[in-house]
Structure 1
Amino acid sequence: MHPYQKGKKRGILVRAFLSGVDKCEVVDSSAEGAPRYAMEKVDDSGFFEVLIEDRDMVFPYRLRSEQRNREIRQFYDPYSFLPTIGESDLYLFNQGNEHRIYEKLGAHPKVVNGIPGVSFGVWAPNADRVSLVGSFNDWDGRYHPMRSLGGSGVWELFIPGMEKGEMYKFELRAKNGDVFLKTDPYGSYFEAPPNNASIVYDHSSYQWNDQAWMAKRVDHQALDRPMSVYEVHLASWKRRWEEDNRPLTYKELAVELAEYVIDHGFTHIELMPVAEHPFDGSWGYQVTGYYAPTHRFGTPDDFKAFVDYMHQRDIGVIVDWVPAHFPRDTFALPGFDGTCLYEHEDPRLGAHMDWGTLIFNFGRHEVKSFLVANALSWLDRYHIDGLRVDAVASMLYLDYSREEGQWIPNQYGGNENLEAIAFLRETNDLVHKYYPGTLMIAEESTSFGGVTKPPSEGGLGFDLKWNMGWMHDNMSYFEKDPIYRKHHQNNLTFGMLYQYAEKFVTVFSHDEVTHGKGSMLMKMGAGTITDKSRTLRSLYGHMWGYPGKKLLFMGSEFGQSEEWNYDKSLQWHLNEFADHHGIASLVRDLNRVYKEEPALAETDFDDQSFRWIACWDADSSIISYVRTSRDGRSKIMVIGHFTPMTHERYRIGLPSAGHWREILNTDSSFYGGSNIGNVNGVNSEPVEYDSFAQSGEFTIPPLSTMFFKWEG
């Protein structure tokens, strides 16, 4: 309905497209008994119009249609409602500063002028037309063309009477006349492939019960608190083989996974990407629905309940977030409005050589709004406690995995991606501003400086960084046959040269057990499963003794023998065997000691807390170091020995006089070892050794790591 004047004709003009309708009237709904105005069917396809010449002001109205089967419907016209997105929202979005744009764009059930319905918004600045389509209009783009909101590039429409659960897509017509369908970039729920339609969802109904966790999260996730992370791929952690090998639902996972995590002493879980993705084999890293938990395990509210359940049991939830790239699936972001909207047009800037994916245009304000708001939405809607940002290295460098001539230098001639760096700094700043206590974790595999320093000091602003260097060095060492390890002692010690340059998480993630690398257990340089288990236990002991927060991928905690398979359950039956059960028991005790001893978690990032005792005995493959609490009262000495020999009366320097009690020995029979050790511990002697005034004689078991606690 709009004012109309042409020559002597003037009044209010109303038009409507209603396929399969014989008659239509405009019903004045401003007062009871108000008049109706019959519309003329001007085209057999269903186009109606009427010029109401006795009115000069628009008025509230409904349409009353009569179909060929005599069915009569009376309904509100979507075009009788003013836009639901404000000018200030659009202004901030175009500036790149609308941090809650996910509450405006996408699909949102709401009540407008007392009428319930759903408002839709989508950014498509270069489209000639955008229509909302779904089963509610037979997927016909003629029914609901959306309104362009000026130069913002946003198209909007409110559909009265629509309810939660309706499937929809956007039909776009590009400048060249091509017509195609796209799913909603801001969609919060999707149907399964191959159709991938967006689904209208209402986020306002879920009632959270994690207030106690949220109130203490700032303190609980402080960097001097224990953090031991269990990395999980939800689809393959456990499956119901008796029910066609289906994965567990969010509801089933909440109960079983929480119980397992608590039993093994982990403080957090980290979920490989749960954002919607069409291809199971991408493990979630090729995202098409950035704002939607995947449909595979339940609804968005089911995922909220999963997080809620974890929080009520004091388990933090971290999710993998993938802003570095997105897949080429044509139903989603690529070429969204017929142009390179979210990606760069030039493949030297916009295409990943390794993964066949596309790179976000981080310098475009609306793309920045999309990504920043996406990070915030997971913390807002789902109470997520941290984001592990995937493939940060690929974002930082313009020449990442590219040959000469395949990339374009920045404005200063360098290889740094200045726009991506600015984006990461801003995202980290805003996350910490809006959601204090939330952890931002970088998977960054290069020596880029200041990843965990604040932007005010020239850093990127992450809280933590995966220690990929330590992982590679130690894995290379433990993969070798013990006879050759003496030539690679520096693999154990080199990492300390840069250990305190960043705040590190010491990790053995899913990346170490895929692509033909084998499982953690089978990679150990030993012959029998028993020796491999001993070797893996000694590695885990060293990992938990070494500074840094901890992360271990599922299955590695009990020594799975097969390489991880994304569509197959873990080998849970292996826990029946002593070698595997022993590894799991050790992980439980490592987590317990890590949480109980102030010299460990409390000092993970204190460079004064660590001191090598002896790392010179490469021939014996023995290292020793001490961790000391800030007040000096708690000291934990770690001795690692990585050959199958036993050493009796092996002298090691001691940083303090007194009794050093053996509190953990990976060679204990409780873990499946030979039970060689030091009974209750070792008393110091005033014998100078390893540059210390005190020392002691130790029994060093084969393939073992031992923890000793100073008792004065």
Structure 2
Amino acid sequence: MVLHAELADKSYLFNTGKSFKSYGFLGCHLLDDEQAEFNVWAPNAKKVAVVGDFNNWQDSPLKQIKDTGIWHLVLDGVKAGDLYKFSITGPDGKRALKIDPYATEFEKKPGDAAVVMKPINHKWKDGLWLGRRKRSKALQRPLNIYEVHLGSWRRHEDDSYYSYEEFANELIPYVKQHGYTHVELMPIMEHLLDASWGYQQLGYFATTSRFGTRAEFLNFVEKCHLANIGVIVDWVPGHFIRNYDALYQYDGTPTFEYQDENRADNKRWGAWNFDLGKAQVQSFLISSAMYWLEECHLDGLRVDAVSNMLYLDYDDGKEGLTNKNGDNRNLEGIAFLQKLNQVIHREHPDVLMIAEESSAYKGVTDTVENGGLGFDYKWNLGWMHDTLKFFEMDPVYRCNNFQLLTFAFVYMYNEKFILPFSHDEVVHGKKSLMHKMPGDRYNQFANLRTMMIYLLAFPGKKLRFMGSEWGQFLEWRDWSSLEWVDLKDDMNHKMDIFTTALNEIYHNQRPLWELDHNPEGVVYSNTDDAASSTMGFIRQGKRKHQFVVAAFNFVPVERKKYRIGVPFTGEYELLINTEDERYGGTWTKLETNFTADKTPFHGQPASFTVTLPAMGALLIQPIKLNRG
């Protein structure tokens, strides 16, 4: 049993925003086979009790630890598997049944009672993976992420969910076969509404029961690591589910959310905003992040909706809100994000903290010491939107809109970027990536292959949403499985082969990731030829003789004797041609070898010519250079 003096010390840290593993004492903790300790933060409650299977859902009152806001009880007759809730009586005398904010498992929806759980006793076998992760320098390593929504990746024929165990047996080999380095799971924290995709969270310490138990999820993570696949999970610290039996007005007053209802109410997403300036909320949220990274061995968190935490006026109807300095920054939100990243990186410097941030806020990936937010990476949403807008155009108009591609070269080193083609761009009528492409079916695939080479070659780490690897035609539907039947079609099958080949090239070619965040990583060759809608540039590795040449033709007109400038004379060979018949193209004979002579071109001392395929792209590498 935790003595009150010990609990008071832990409560002090919690109340001052310094308890970063508060899941160790708050919530429900089994002390032995039939005794449990309950602790819950409800500072303004008039009365708190626990109700559950163990007491026939009748009140067992908790006592408040003086001056802490923490209510405490040790209760006999409690066993693993029992369901429970807290009964909270607010200052106005009204009673409400509330979830346990620190529950590590919930009953299956539509119920939301917490489950009494035994402590995690998983005997991890991923030490080799964690050791490599500590030694590796992530910025200089390949990062190629497969974004997955577990509820719709695969389902059974009766439309029931796969289990974590089934995902381990099928998703892991699939990701491995296709050459991705990481999976990024859309939120797997417990949530009630499928249509929220997990972004309106109920449980901040609980894996969703849709797919199985916490133990089965830990097994999934371990098996990913044993297959050399990292696991990133989306996490939502900005806002929480609207349900009144969850965190909203937890003790009968605004507790986790802002006191000001206008600031608390997230109208755009139908949720409640966390009060990020409140010390106890900081302890709660940072503890949640630590739980997933430390107890579940995750390799990173992609923090959702960062812009909503950075700006007071980000939500609908909040125009004109300002801070004490007269601008629209959310000073508490900024301070929280800085604190979050400092704590996480102090404890786990090798995990990845990734920001989904949609504005031009400066310093998202700069250090806190330099005034930045301290994230490792930021999704480059500007690059994504401009690239998709360009490729959706009829090719005849691309020459007049070339800035959609070239503008990103201006700011590509402002932050440490991940280049995403994410779930948000293939849903709600936006069409799938393949369906966005103009022209007939053949040209749609030609455009898609070219765009994927552009993703590969442009500086920044990579992320692609499931289904894009074979060019699914239907846009993403969260309520049903991907259209796996597509792979019986020859074009889809060849697109899938192309993706696997492209990922292998990415993994094996150091210049494509070694200097992603260094201006020396790109050598400009021919990036401004808008008139012909063509582009060429070089991705440079640390060693001067290691580089990859990328050449693009964004219109369906073949370019013979297209000249490409390179730094050395010598012999070069083809890595991939998007028009190779193996990948769905029309070329049965490929130009595979090229000789660079001393003809200067676009600032480079040497060059060679290629036949640039219509609506296609080439990647070429040096094999024997004259470096004298």
Q: Tell me whether the two structures share a fold, i.e. TM-score over 0.5.
A: yes
Aligned partner of 1:40 in structure 2 is none
Shift of 1:246: 0.9
Shift of 1:616: 2.8
Could you give the per-residue CA deviations for residues 24-65 of structure 1, whole angstroms, max 9, x where no partner exists? xxxxxxxxxxxxxxxxxxxxxxxxxxxxxxxxxxxxxxxxxx
Query: Are positions 1:138 and 2:50 aligned together?
Result: no
- 1:132 is paired with a residue whose SS is strand
Query: Are positions 1:109 and 2:30 aligned together?
Result: yes
Does the CA-based 8 Å contact 1:191-1:197 persist in structure 2? yes
- Comparing 686-695 and 89-98, the one that deviates more: 686-695
Matches within 5 A, 1:595-634: 595-634=507-546
Aligned partner of 1:521 in structure 2 is 434
- 1:387 is paired with a residue whose SS is strand
Could you give the per-residue CA deviations for residues 617-666 of structure 1, whole angstroms, max 9, x where no partner exists? 22321000001111212010100111111111122222221122111111
In structure 2, which of residues 257, 261, 283 is the aligned counterpart of residue 343 of structure 1? Answer: 257
Shift of 1:221: 5.8
In structure 2, which of residues 148, 152, 155 is the aligned counterpart of residue 232 of structure 1? Answer: 148
Tell me the TM-score normalized by structure 2: 0.97
**Distance (Å, rounded) in 1 between the aligned partners of 2:342 and 2:495:** 40
Aligned partner of 1:496 in structure 2 is 409
Shift of 1:531: 1.1
| Unaligned runs of at least 5 residues, structure 2 | none
**Distance (Å, rounded) in 1 between the aligned partners of 2:117 and 2:313:** 41
Aligned partner of 1:475 in structure 2 is 388
Q: 1:81 to 1:89 in 2, by over 3 A?
A: closer
Aligned partner of 1:389 in structure 2 is 303
Query: Are positions 1:156 and 2:77 aligned together?
Result: no
Does the CA-based 8 Å contact 1:325-1:360 persist in structure 2? yes
- Comparing 638-647 and 611-620, the one that deviates more: 611-620
Shift of 1:218: 2.0
Q: 1:549 to 1:81 in 2, by over 3 A?
A: closer
Q: Quote the RMSD (CA, aligned, Å).
A: 1.5
Aligned partner of 1:205 in structure 2 is 121
**Distance (Å, rounded) in 2 between the aligned partners of 1:402 and 1:329:** 20
Aligned partner of 1:536 in structure 2 is 448
Shift of 1:611: 1.9
**Distance (Å, rounded) in 2 between the aligned partners of 1:177 and 1:329:** 20
Does the CA-based 8 Å contact 1:676-1:699 persist in structure 2? no
Aligned partner of 1:261 in structure 2 is 175
Aligned partner of 1:292 in structure 2 is 206
Shift of 1:553: 0.3
| Unaligned runs of at least 5 residues, structure 1 | 1-79
In structure 2, which of residues 313, 335, 351 is the aligned counterpart of residue 422 of structure 1? Answer: 335
Higher CA-based Rg:
1
Does the CA-based 8 Å contact 2:54-2:77 persist in structure 1? no
In structure 2, which of residues 608, 612, 616 is the aligned counterpart of residue 704 of structure 1? Answer: 616
Aligned partner of 1:452 in structure 2 is 365
* Paired letter, 2:344: V
- 1:496 is paired with a residue whose SS is helix
**Distance (Å, rounded) in 1 between the aligned partners of 2:183 and 2:74:** 40
- For these two proteins, the number of residue pairs brought into alignment is 624
* Paired letter, 1:286: Q
Does the CA-based 8 Å contact 2:426-2:475 persist in structure 1? yes
Shift of 1:678: 5.1
Shift of 1:215: 1.4
**Distance (Å, rounded) in 2 between the aligned partners of 1:81 and 1:497:** 57
**Distance (Å, rounded) in 1 between the aligned partners of 2:529 and 2:52:** 71
Tell me the TM-score normalized by structure 1: 0.86
Query: Are positions 1:179 and 2:95 aligned together?
Result: yes
**Distance (Å, rounded) in 2 between the aligned partners of 1:677 and 1:185:** 63
Aligned partner of 1:313 in structure 2 is 227
**Distance (Å, rounded) in 2 between the aligned partners of 1:675 and 1:164:** 63
**Distance (Å, rounded) in 2 between the aligned partners of 1:689 and 1:152:** 72
Q: 1:692 to 1:336 in 2, by over 3 A?
A: same
**Distance (Å, rounded) in 2 between the aligned partners of 1:117 and 1:374:** 25
Query: Are positions 1:303 and 2:217 aligned together?
Result: yes
**Distance (Å, rounded) in 2 between the aligned partners of 1:678 and 1:365:** 63
* Paired letter, 1:89: K
Could you give the per-residue CA deviations for residues 323-379 of structure 1, whole angstroms, max 9, x where no partner exists? 111121111001111101111132332122311211100111111100011100101
Q: 1:699 to 1:136 in 2, by over 3 A?
A: same
Does the CA-based 8 Å contact 1:348-1:408 persist in structure 2? no
Does the CA-based 8 Å contact 1:84-1:119 persist in structure 2? no
Could you give the per-residue CA deviations for residues 433-479 of structure 1, whole angstroms, max 9, x where no partner exists? 11221000000111101101110111100000101011011000000
**Distance (Å, rounded) in 2 between the aligned partners of 1:498 and 1:677:** 39
Aligned partner of 2:41 in structure 1 is 123
Aligned partner of 2:194 in structure 1 is 280
**Distance (Å, rounded) in 2 between the aligned partners of 1:557 and 1:689:** 35
- 1:484 is paired with a residue whose SS is helix
- 2:180 is paired with a residue whose SS is coil
- 2:23 is paired with a residue whose SS is helix
- 1:240 is paired with a residue whose SS is coil
**Distance (Å, rounded) in 1 between the aligned partners of 2:621 and 2:589:** 14
Query: Are positions 1:413 and 2:334 aligned together?
Result: no
- 2:469 is paired with a residue whose SS is helix
The higher relative CO (CA closer than 8 Å, separation ≥ 6) is in 2
Query: Are positions 1:574 and 2:492 aligned together?
Result: no
Could you give the per-residue CA deviations for residues 164-190 of structure 1, whole angstroms, max 9, x where no partner exists? 111000011111111110010010000
Identity of aligned residues (%): 40
Q: 1:316 to 1:516 in 2, by over 3 A?
A: same
Could you give the per-residue CA deviations for residues 229-265 of structure 1, whole angstroms, max 9, x where no partner exists? 0000001100111xx2112100000110110001000
Matches within 5 A, 1:436-451: 436-451=349-364
Shift of 1:205: 2.3
Aligned partner of 1:357 in structure 2 is 271
- 2:353 is paired with a residue whose SS is strand
